[in-house]
């Protein structure tokens, strides 16, 4: 499961990259995580940025596991379930990003965090799906989920899944309103491993309350408790 990512580029650079106006309150994110309000661009309104909850709202996230928050949608599930294919046609979005995190198990109680980026350090996006809900009090809110595929060669050294990474060309196809299911599913592939790199980062990434630039700095391999490890 992919549960953290980054969007560290300055607002002006993001606005230029996606040809959209960003909300005034947007700030770089070094530890974007579930139940947070994060920027997405939808197929129904590609000219602007929407701010949706990742997985669910904070109120619904209480006492829920990450899997219950529906933060990831496996591409295999989309291919198998007609209901998800309908969602594919009506609720596509892209999730602006410039990196993502994953943890590698190195023992029963040891997990080492890594950050993955593209080799050219460009801004990209993840393929996503969004939905609209009414909660038990009648309040309306929007959520998104990140589509994942089996990991490529470089990501598989750490984790068995990875997000679907899109570039400008594939973003345009993903957001194209009159696309077919087959054409859309063909876009949901692992990004080439020779165009990605990885490095170990601080275990402070495990704390969602921490969202500072130093999180993306390379750091010696350490487990989630901050203990240096030789399993690297």
pLDDT, mean of residues 213-225: 82
Q: How far is C-alpha 72 from the chain's CA centre?
A: 8
Q: Cα 202 vs. chain centroid, distance in angstroms?
A: 19
Element (H, E) at 182: helix 181-185
Q: Identify whether the C-beta of residue 96 lies closer than 8 Å to the C-beta of residue 39.
A: yes
> Quick check: 117 pLDDT over 60?
yes
> Any idea which architecture 5-98+122-190 has in CATH?
Alpha-Beta Complex (3.90)
Dist. CA 40–CA 92, nearest whole Å: 10
Task: Provide the 10 A C-beta neighbour count for residue 68.
Answer: 12
pTM beyond 0.95? no
Structural element, H or E, at residue 171: helix 168-175
Q: How far apart are CA 50 and CA 35, in angstroms?
A: 15
Residue-wise pLDDT for 123-171, tens only, equals 999 999 998 877 667 778 899 999 999 999 999 999 999 999 999 999 9
């Amino acid at each position: 499961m992919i549960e953290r990512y980054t969007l560290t580029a300055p607002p002006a650079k993001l606005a230029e990259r996606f040809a959209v106006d960003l909300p005034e309150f947007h700030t770089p994110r070094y530890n974007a995580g579930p139940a947070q309000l994060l920027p997405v661009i939808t197929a129904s309104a590609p000219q602007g940025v929407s701010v949706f909850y990742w997985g669910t709202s904070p109120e619904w996230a209480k006492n829920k596991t990450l899997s219950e928050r529906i933060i990831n949608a496996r591409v295999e599930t989309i291919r198998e379930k007609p209901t998800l294919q309908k969602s594919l046609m009506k609720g596509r979005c892209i999730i602006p990003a410039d990196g993502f995190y994953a943890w590698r198990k190195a023992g029963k109680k040891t997990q080492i965090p890594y950050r993955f980026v593209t080799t050219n350090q460009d801004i990209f996006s993840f393929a996503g799906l969004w939905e609209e809900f009414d909660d038990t009090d009648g309040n309306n809110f929007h959520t998104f989920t990140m589509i994942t595929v089996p990991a490529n060669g470089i990501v598989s050294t750490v984790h068995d899944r990875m997000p679907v990474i899109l570039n400008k060309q594939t973003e345009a196809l993903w957001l194209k309103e009159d696309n077919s299911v087959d054409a859309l599913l063909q876009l949901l592939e692992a990004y080439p491993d020779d165009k990605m790199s990885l490095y170990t980062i601080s275990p402070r990434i495990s704390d969602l309350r921490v969202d500072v630039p130093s999180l993306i700095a390379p750091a010696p391999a350490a487990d989630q408790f901050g203990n240096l490890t030789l399993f690297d």
